[in-house]
Structure formats: structure tokens, C-alpha cells
Structure 1
Amino acid sequence: MGSDKLSSFSRSVSFKQRATNLGSPRFSRKSWVSRNFTVLIVFGSAVSFLLAISGGYLYVLPSLTKAFHEVSIPTTSNGGECDIYDDGDWVLDNSYPLYNASDCPFVEQGFNCLGNGRTDKDYLKLRWKPKGCDIPRFDVESTLEMLRNKRVVFVGDSMGRTQWESLICLLMTGVRDKASVFEVNGNQITKQIRFLGVRFGSFNFSVEFYRSVYLVQHNWSPKRAPKRVRSTLRLHKLDDISAEWRNADMLIFNSGQWWVPEKLFGTNLTLRECEVPNQPLLETRGQDNSSFSDAIFSVVKTMTIPVTIMHITPMSAFRSDAHVGTWGDKPSLSDCSHWCLPGVPDVWNEILLSYLHSTHSSTIWERMTSNSTIAR
């Protein structure tokens, strides 16, 4: 790439995440390049909970003290505040990528772009650099110890599954006995399986994924419903597999892509051609803004369980170069929604893990350690 710094930008959104100790993610967007909205919510509690989604609000058991967390990362320059997501650059870093997808058995073939014939590699060597602070470098040894005896659960769609795969591959770089890391049911990683769980035997923790694209109950059309009604969503009830999420030390949700009209009502489903550029975009054409984000931010502030929002839309909106494109499992179709691995989801996980390592989150982890049980 001609320059180490690729795109410098500064924007305001309705809700600003500030930083003094660490960061948080997820995102939205639609354009000729990509159509996806993803919001990552981390629930730092081991108690059983009830989560209902209706009209853009979340409600959880009110027995806990209100705890809305803004994520931050340590400043390294002037000690002031740092806007993690809205103000920064994608910079060249030759220490990336952090793993080889072909050496990680938990990356599904459709996300391994290099393995599927992609020849350019610049997209692999970029890291996110917020202005005024640095995202701490991934330390696999301390992270494996931090997760010892824990249970991490991802819930959502293929975007969440990509991040789940990324996290497992990052963690595997520090495991000497690779055979001690295994899928609990012996499954290959594919999108057809609703539950996938990977066990790190040497450290006694699991990283699991549950496919639940709406998070709430999805049923077929009821009797006597109009013909145009093909299915229904019960907004006041969690998905029928939600009982499986209980006793998780950390829950990571994503669902937003499925709530846009094209997905929700089956409109405009014609396949569109898209293009994957060789470098990040210089501007996002406003695709980093979303009313979904505004609703989520306002609701989470009133919640009564420790929640962290990781608003990665702004930083991810520039990385059209890192999409799967024609290097997926269907080369005849250009995929501008999903991400190559290694790639952008690794940076989401670096921010997530930095947050968990921070002093700010230490009391949350202490509470989880004393109250949680890990599935065996």
C-alpha cells in the first residue's frame, strides 16, 4: 500500500463511546459494497436472565443494580479521552495477520479467502488505530488464563459465527496441544448446524455458538392468516433454544441484519452484483449511521444487568476490501456481507478481549467466577 495511513476520519453519532480504559462493538450498513447491521452486546453476568425484544427495546430481570458500561481503552498519548470507533485510521502493520486460516480447523471454507484463491494480501495487514490511544496487542497466554474455567457464548447469525470462528483461531495460537481443542459433538464447522461448541480442554473453558437470527421465537404462519403472511415473530418470547444460554459467563448477541425489510419481509431479494476493492474506502457514504444503533444505545442505558455495547460500525464501514467477494464457497456470487478470515472480525475480538483484560471489568469477572458454572 502506498501509505501506512489509509483513511482518517472524524464523525459524530448520536451516542458517543468514550475511552479511558477500553472499547466495545457492533455494526450496520447498506450499500453497493455491503448490507449488514450488527450490534454486539456483551452480558457480563452469570445469573439466569430473561431477555425480550419488542419494538426495539430490551428488558432483563430488574433485580440487579443498573450497570451500563461504556468501553474504553488505555490512552497512550495525552491521557485524555479517546473515541475508539469514530475517530481513527486503518494502518499498515506487518505483524498481522495473527493466524493462518488454513492452519485453523475451525474456520469454515467459505471465509478462508486466501485458501479459496484470493491473491492480494494487503487487506490482512491492517489494524485499527484510534486517535489518542492504542488497542492493546493481543496476548494469547494471558487471555487463555483469563478464560480458564469460563463459558463464552455467541448467539446470532453468520456474522456472529464469523466472530466466533475468529476468536477460536486467535486462542488456538497459544495452545501447544492442538488436539486438546475440539468441537464437542465432533461436528465440522458449517452454517447448517444450529449449535457449535469448541472446548479448550487444557484450560477448561468453552466457546460456543447458537444460531438464532432473530433472537426471539420464529414460527410459521398461523391458521387463517393472510396469504402474504409466511411466518411470525413472537417479540415477547426468546428463541426456544434460549435456555441453553444460561450460566454463560459472557453472552455476545447479534441480530440486526435480519430486521431490515429485505430480510424481515422478504422484499427485494434479487441478487445484486458487488465489488470488493483492493483498499479500504476513503469515505462510507453515510452507511455507518443507523437508527438501529440509536435505539439500542438508548435502551441499554436503562437496563439492569451489566451490558457493554461494542459499536464497531464506524470503524468497519471502511473495510469493503476485507469482504469475502468471490473468494467464498460460492465463487459465482460476490459476497459483500461476510468477512474474510483472518480479517476485520479479529480486530473486533481484540477490542473485546482488551475490555475483558481491563481494570474496569475486573469486578465483573470476579462476580462471574464466584457465581458461574461452566458446561462440561
Structure 2
Amino acid sequence: MESLPIRKARNLIRRTKIIWIATAAAIILVAAICVNSSQYASPPPKSPSMAPPAQHSKVFDGHEDCDIFSGDWIPNPEAPYYTNKTCWAIHDHQNCMKYGRPDSDFMRWRWKPNACNLPLFNPYQFLHIVRGKSLAFVGDSVGRNQMQSIICLLSRVEYPIDMSPPTTDKHWKYVNYNFTMSYFWSPFLVRSGVRDDVGPTNTGLFNLYLEEFDESWTNQIHGFDYLIINAGHWFNRNTVYYENRRVVGCRYCLLPNITDLPATYAYRRAFRTAFRALENFDGVTLVRTFAPAHFEGGEWNAGGDCVRRRPVGSNDTVLDGQTLDMYTAQLEEFRAAMGRGKRGMRAMDVTKMMLLRPDGHPSRYGHWAEEKVVLYNDCVHWCLPGPIDSGADILLHMLKMEARRG
């Protein structure tokens, strides 16, 4: 038989082993819980300035009299605030880093107005303002480009639920804020249809009914709180123009006995019709001005490319050519609509701001270099992350001003 001291020693060793095993199991369990939770946690704010607003904090910054659309781009070493690996909303053709763009400085600039400081986009503040509201983008793929930028910037706080129907339209729901963001595809803003799948340049020939609403969006927007509309480069496509159900001209249609007219002819009338469709819209409409392209060395289908790697200074370039013509026509129709008493409509006048960013386009980095695809160099859309992210700074400022007016 074991002596009493020996039995006591054995019992002490047994109890110690049990404690060690229990402690190790607890550590493993806690670690597993932490790892599992981190998979679903939203990424933390990049800096203290991105903290959620206090319950009674102001949602505006007092710069309503500042011309936020006149300025220059300045370095922003803190950017970008998301990557192509952290945001799933980036369209492949704008996913420049995925497809091997070798430089990254184009992501590290911010817009600085001349007369004031424009705060960087704060996702918490944005969602605080739009809580319980709805916002819709209407227009072409540049508008979709901006919507995807906002989804990526908001991903630091919350990821939306896709509630879209099986169409080109998109509907995203931010459940914790009861906020809906939608997108309606309407590149001409007016009723259109395909006349010929091929057309003179293998990009199709379209019919544009310049005085008729595109009901795919005009019948859907009532009830939205905010609307952002844009249109632009589709008006350079091969199109036949109709007014009062008869042909009045075309753009590059090469059809007999039809007069070729400039793109501004249709562009002006399309916005006139769109503004007429908005006469009974009770929400706030933000009209995003023409997005400049930056093709150099040829047109989009003739070897043109955008290879610059830095922004241009505001004193080093001017609006000219078709960009100036389209921009002028759009603003003239905007002012005419305001003169007819249209309320709740603001100009998101970003044309000159984006003219200074020839470095921010995908160029050939919208697909793999060795991939055999029929895609031209893209000098119209914007890389994500990229310059269009500063459009969110502009949007948040404009929403703050609306909150103050309300």
C-alpha cells in the first residue's frame, strides 16, 4: 500500500493536470470565438475622424457659400479607404489593380476647393443623414461607377443586401439604417430602342425618341428622397433622332437622306425631356455634369489611350471641344428648368474637377493583358479605388446642405 504522503502527491498532480486541461480548452474556445466574430465584423474606421457622429452632432459644416467645384487636387496619403480585395462591388472593367496596373499614386489625391476645406467622406455621417431614406442613380455606366464607389466607401460601416430584380436595375438595402440605394440603367435618359444590332461601326444603331420619357425610370422614382442623374458618352453612338414620331436627323447613322447632327442636339433635348419628367418629383435631384474623357493619340476606337500618371493643375488646362459643348448644353437646360420653377434640383458640377484627372482611368487595365477580348482602352470610366471616390465628398457635402435647408 502507498503511504499517505505518496497518495497526497498523486492527487495533487491529477488535480493540476485537470486544471491545465480546462484552462487550455477555455483559451482555445475564446480564440475560436474571436476569429469567428472577426469574419463578420465591419472594418474599423481608418482614423478618429471617421467615428460615428454623436446623437446630437451637426451634419453640416457651414461652407454652404463656398464654391466647392473650383479648386485643385492635393495629395492624400491616407487614401485609399478600401481595396479591390476588401470591396466586392467593383466592376471588373474598373478593377485596375486586379488587372496589373503598375502604379498606385492615382489613388492618393483628394479634391481641395479654393475657398474652403471639403471634409473627406465620412461613412457614418453619410448613413446618419440618409437613415430611413432612399437614393437612386439614373443614367449610364459612369453613374453606376459612382454608385459602386459609394458602396465601397460605405463598406467600412455596413455591407448592403442585394434586393435587385433580374434586370439591369440594382437595389441595395442597408438594413441597420433602413436606407435603400438604387440604380436605373438609362444611358440616353429618354425612350430608345435598337434599330440595328451592328450599325455603321459594329456598336449598334439606336433610335432616340427625344421628346418621350424613358418609363423604365420615370415610373420608378416617385417616393425616392434623392435622385442623381447623369448621361454623356452614349450620345456619341450611332443614333437616329425622332421628334413628334418623325426622323429629324441622326448621329453617324450613314443613312440616305438623313442629316447628320452634333451630339449636343440630342443631348440638350434629352435633358429637357428628363427635367420635364421630374416636374412632379418631390425629392431632391442632383444633376451630375458631363464626365470628360481623356483619350490622347487618337479616338476611342482608333488607338487612343490615357497614360498620364498625375493630376493636371487647374491653370494648366481648359474645357474645350465636345466636352465644353456638352457641358454647356447640359447647364443651359438645367438653368432653363430652374427658370420654369423646378425646385429641389441642384447641379453636381464635377466636369472641371474631373477634367484634371487624366491619370485615373482604367486604360488597358480593365482586363488581363493576354486576354482576347474586344475592349478598347477605357479613358471614360474611373478606376476603383480612384478619383471618383472624391465624388462622395461632394455628395456628402450637398446632402449636408439639404439637411440644413430642411
Q: TM-score, normalised by structure 1?
A: 0.65
Match of 1:334 in 2: 377
Match of 2:343 in 1: 305
Does the aligned pair in 1 maintain the 2:121–2:392 contact within 8 Å?
Answer: no
**Any unmatched runs of 5+ in structure 1?**
1-71, 188-192, 223-228, 365-376
The residue type equivalent to 1:284 in the other structure is T
Secondary structure class of the residue paired with 1:144: helix
In the alignment, is residue 350 of structure 1 matched against residue 350 of structure 2? no
CA distance in 1, matches of 2:84, 2:252: 34
**Match for 1:200 among 146, 161, 174?**
174
Does the aligned pair in 1 maintain the 2:82–2:152 contact within 8 Å?
Answer: yes
Match of 2:184 in 1: 210
CA distance in 1, matches of 2:190, 2:384: 29
Does the aligned pair in 1 maintain the 2:99–2:368 contact within 8 Å?
Answer: no
Match of 1:126 in 2: 109
**Match for 1:85 among 40, 50, 69?**
69
Match of 1:323 in 2: 361
Match of 1:286 in 2: 319
CA spacing shift, 1:73–1:293, aligned 2, 3 Å: farther
**Bigger fraction of residues in helix:** 2
**1:345 Cα deviation after fit:** 1.5
Match of 2:215 in 1: 240
CA distance in 2, matches of 1:341, 1:220: 31
The residue type equivalent to 2:162 in the other structure is E
The residue type equivalent to 1:241 in the other structure is S
CA distance in 2, matches of 1:112, 1:135: 27
CA distance in 2, matches of 1:346, 1:160: 12
Does the aligned pair in 2 maintain the 1:276–1:336 contact within 8 Å?
Answer: no
CA distance in 1, matches of 2:108, 2:330: 29
Match of 1:265 in 2: 251
**1:203 Cα deviation after fit:** 1.3
The residue type equivalent to 1:296 in the other structure is E
**1:269 Cα deviation after fit:** 7.7
Q: Please tell me whether Structure 1 or Structure 2 has the larger radius of gyration of its CA atoms.
A: 2
CA distance in 2, matches of 1:337, 1:73: 32
Match of 1:62 in 2: none
CA distance in 2, matches of 1:333, 1:230: 19
The residue type equivalent to 1:323 in the other structure is H
Match of 1:362 in 2: 404
**1:119 Cα deviation after fit:** 2.1
Secondary structure class of the residue paired with 1:101: coil
**1:251 Cα deviation after fit:** 0.7
CA spacing shift, 1:270–1:112, aligned 2, 3 Å: closer
Secondary structure class of the residue paired with 1:252: strand
Q: What does residue range 96-115 of structure 1 map to in structure 2 within 5 Å?
A: 96-115=79-98
CA spacing shift, 1:202–1:82, aligned 2, 3 Å: closer
Greater CA drift, 148-157 or 298-307: 298-307
Match of 2:372 in 1: none
Does the aligned pair in 2 maintain the 1:182–1:198 contact within 8 Å?
Answer: yes
CA distance in 1, matches of 2:61, 2:106: 24
Q: What does residue range 16-55 of structure 1 map to in structure 2 within 5 Å?
A: none
Greater CA drift, 291-300 or 348-357: 291-300
**Any unmatched runs of 5+ in structure 2?**
1-59, 197-203, 240-249, 254-298, 370-374
CA distance in 1, matches of 2:173, 2:345: 25
Does the aligned pair in 1 maintain the 2:319–2:352 contact within 8 Å?
Answer: no
Match of 1:8 in 2: none
Does the aligned pair in 2 maintain the 1:154–1:210 contact within 8 Å?
Answer: yes
In the alignment, is residue 146 of structure 1 matched against residue 129 of structure 2? yes
The residue type equivalent to 1:333 in the other structure is Y
CA spacing shift, 1:269–1:324, aligned 2, 3 Å: closer
**1:295 Cα deviation after fit:** 1.8
CA distance in 2, matches of 1:293, 1:109: 30
CA distance in 1, matches of 2:165, 2:89: 12
CA distance in 1, matches of 2:61, 2:355: 21
Does the aligned pair in 2 maintain the 1:102–1:112 contact within 8 Å?
Answer: no
List per-residue Cα deviations over 1:252-300 (Å, max 9, x = no partner). Answer: 1011323347677246884432132111234335346333244234324
Aligned length: 272
Does the aligned pair in 2 maintain the 1:152–1:248 contact within 8 Å?
Answer: yes
CA distance in 2, matches of 1:108, 1:270: 22
CA distance in 2, matches of 1:122, 1:262: 37
| Aligned-pair identity (%) | 28
CA spacing shift, 1:310–1:185, aligned 2, 3 Å: closer
